[in-house]
Structure 1
């Protein structure tokens, strides 16, 4: 995500941090590098000019010049202004969805065809159902694309939300009104309306979506835009912003965009906050957008809070407690436990998903590693464990030459891979033994000594 921009800005940040004294010359050089990085990332020129002007003004101010470490102070200025460019100046409430409406709260999804509106509608339904505990109804007012209604029905069922059926012969305004009536009668908290898109902006499309908006008066009108469109995303954003009272932006396919200019430009053009970012094709690949944290990621500082959130979502707290109690009580860490650990890592977004949220120095350290290959290896390890009998999983020491051959054949791998997996299991088991009998507490006490925040 935003790879090119992150790499360029991470180098600038590293150089700035090392500056003991700021001069007009090294400040100008730094601003020139930042300007080039932003323009190469497809950020709109007006946004770049405004950003550079604000950083320059504050860089030459008392806050930076009077600092004991001006280089680091300047990094702080760049981080804050980058966050402001993406919406931090609108306040923390701006990026939150509003439910200040008599239920159901209506969310209207708008955007061009092919930007991922329908999938995003399903992702948003899942987010609201699981994160906000809302009863969600979705409906498709796209009567032009034959597969649109069926696609929304499919993704809605996958995420466990409710779906209101419509047909291609219905009028979009009637569909929206009927869905709203149904949502009221069945006590839904949220109604999400997926509207029709076109391959380009046209007057008929804008009039139709404006009519739907007028008919249901949504509390949120979200503009869905493909982050990979670059400068085209800005032109589209202007057109939709002129036609509709937008309340926010959803950026899709942010994981596939190495430049990331749209993320920095759309907010500047529309004046509306980015509320969500699509970070993978999976239905749980929608993140609430936080400008400050995204600025950290763009500058190569990582997003540790997002990493913690992924861990919290992926880790089964009850299973973790049961495993801890089992080890503490003298129980043995077996293959079933090992498989559970591998499965939880996959739930946390896999290795590449986790790496993306780490600071730049960790990403550089892992630059030579093939993350896709590592994730493939994890899947193969799970397959090997699945080829074992219940007895072998409970007592891996039973697995000798003949059993290894049978397991390898069942998993479709070589015997060497079975041996490698058993070695990795032995290493994990050794680590678990060390945590038994107070080892965990010793480890935590050691961490407290190293980290000032832990007391």
Structure 2
């Protein structure tokens, strides 16, 4: 995500490295390079020019403190302006209706149906909502089936009327169904349409007028670049939507849509889709995205993801086992599963400040834990609980059973032993610090 832009911006800031102060000449040279980087990332020309003009004005108006180098000051100014460019504050959903209604709109193939499922799953888990998905795409034969399958996967009911060709009536009937059965959230998935298709645009306008949604979201494929921005403008003129959803931000995208769309339509980006899995959805935080674009990582989002998987009771149980030196391969396996639930491994690593650049050209496979899991699954229950019984004969059997080598098995056992010792030291150290406080 934004790898090329991040690299280009870093090169631009190097122009100021070693400079004693900011001058009109070195600022102009730096920002000329920044503007080129933005345009290459498919940022709207007017947006890129206005952005660099604002940065120039602020940079030349600054008195550089002796503790701050010109290049560092420029990064700070660019960071603040990137944050402002993408909306400044995080935009929340306004769901006040009973039931609250979200209307999805967008082009064909933008990912509306998948995103509808992701959003239902997220609001159900994080906001304790009771959602109902509504299939209003009466044109694409597989649309209702796709939404039904997604609904089954996330355990959310789907309202549909097979054979009906009236999406307005389907949406209205679904809302009546929601009220009757106690659903407090209705997500209406509509047919993909082209902005130039007058009949289809009239149809979604009619749906919006009939159901009066709390939120109308425009879903756009970020890989379409500048076309995404132009389409958003046309849709906004007809629908006056509340916010934008950028899908496929994990793909080979130059990021121009994310940097341009807020300025062009004056509507906030509310969510981003970062993969195909149903948990690959993030609320859009402008400041955090600016951090990532400038190679500063995103440690806040990383911690939030970890907290989502954190189980307090499990953590207490695990701490007791570590203190007694009883941490075993069952616990080790459980920790791996928690890490995998947090998302794509390379994306997680890139959230750590300074790591993103280091791993840019390294392929981190999501199956990186596959051989470790295979080795553990090839152990008997006794071996997992009591690793000390793993002699040479057992290790050979495990290697054959897991399709790995004896060297890989030995390496895992050594890593496990080191992990167990380190965890015991950390836990004992924490307990030691707590004891004097407890005596008081």
Query: TM-score band (shorter)?
Result: over 0.9
Give the corresponding residue for 2:237: 242
In terms of mean alpha carbon deviation, does 330-339 or 69-78 score higher? 69-78
Asked whether the 8 Å contact 1:16–1:30 carries over to 2, the reply is yes
Corresponding residue of 1:100: 96
Contact kept in structure 2, 1:108 and 1:213, CA below 8 Å: yes
1:167 aligns with 2:162: yes
Distance change >3 Å, CA 286–CA 377, structure 1 → 2: closer
Say if 2:262 and 2:269, in contact at 8 Å, map to a contact too: yes
Match of 1:348 in 2: 342
Whether the aligned pair in 2 keeps the contact of 1:227 and 1:260 (CA below 8 Å) is yes
More moved, 183-192 vs 301-310: 183-192
Give CA deviations for 1:35-63 in whole Å, capped at 9, x if unaligned: 011000001111111111211121121xx
Following the alignment from structure 2 to structure 1, what is the Cα–Cα distance between the partners of residues 18 and 119? Answer: 43
Post-superposition Cα deviations, 1:306-344, rounded to whole Å, max 9, x if no partner, equal 01111112333322221112222x242211121122222
The 8 Å contact of residues 109 and 193 in structure 1, kept in 2 or not, is answered as: yes
Does structure 1 residue 122 correspond to structure 2 residue 122? no
Closer/same/farther in 2, CA of residues 3 and 258 from structure 1, 3 Å limit: farther
Among residues 290, 307, 321, which one is paired with 1:326 in the alignment? Answer: 321
The equivalent residue for 2:63 is 65
SS at match of 1:376: coil
State the alpha-carbon separation in 2 of the partners of residues 440 and 294 from structure 1: 38
| Structure 1 residue ranges (4+ consecutive) displaced by more than 4 angstroms after TM superposition | 13-19, 439-443
Classify 1:331/1:245 alpha carbon distance in 2 versus 1 (closer, same or farther; 3 Å).
same
Summarize the Cα distance change of 1:79–1:441 in structure 2 as closer, same or farther, 3 Å threshold. farther
SS at match of 1:438: helix
Measured after TM superposition, the shift of residue 247 of structure 1 is 0.4
Q: Which residue is 1:450 aligned to?
A: none
Flag structure 2 segments of 5+ consecutive residues without an equivalent: 435-440
C-alpha distance after superposition, 1:247-290 (max 9, x if no partner): 00000000113411111112122110000000111101110001
Contact 2:195 2:234 in 1 (8 A): no
User: For the residues of structure 2 that align with 1:370 and 1:400, how far apart are their CA atoms?
Assistant: 35
Which of 233, 238, 251 aligns to 2:246? It is 251
Aligned partner (choices 139, 146, 150) of residue 151 of structure 1? 146
Q: Cα gap change, 1:441/1:98 in structure 2, threshold over 3 Å: closer, same or farther?
A: farther
> What residue in structure 2 maps to residue 415 of structure 1?
406
Deviations 1:166-206 (A, max 9, x none): 22433100111000111112222211100001367411110
The change in CA–CA distance for 1:149 and 1:400 in structure 2 (over 3 A counts) is same
In 2: Cα distance, 1:369 partner to 1:113 partner: 34
Task: Note closer, same or farther for the CA distance 1:269–1:367 as it changes in structure 2 (3 Å cut).
Answer: closer
Residue 405 to residue 201, structure 1, CA distance change in 2 (3 Å): farther
Deviation of 1:376 (Å): 2.5
CA distance in 1, matches of 2:156, 2:18: 52
Report deviation, 1:98: 0.3
Q: Give the gaps of 5 or more residues in structure 1.
A: 444-455
Q: Which residue number corresponds to residue 32 of structure 2? A: 32
The correspondence for 1:365, drawn from 329, 340, 358, is 358
414-423 or 208-217: which moved more? 414-423
Kindly indicate whether the alpha-carbon contact (under 8 Å) linking 1:3 and 1:258 is maintained by their aligned counterparts in 2.
Answer: no
CA distance in 2, matches of 1:324, 1:74: 45
CA contact (8 A) 2:12 2:31 kept: no
Q: 1:343 to 1:241 in 2, by over 3 A?
A: same
Which residue of 2 is the match for residue 208 of structure 1? 203
Question: In the superposition, relative to structure 1, how do residues 23 and 196 fare at CA in structure 2: closer, same or farther (>3 Å)?
Answer: same
Aligned residues: 432
What is the distance in 2 between the residues matched to 1:151 and 1:392? 43
- Whether the 8 Å CA contact 2:3–2:360 is kept in 1: the answer is no
Partner of 2:53: 53
What's the Cα RMSD here?
2.0
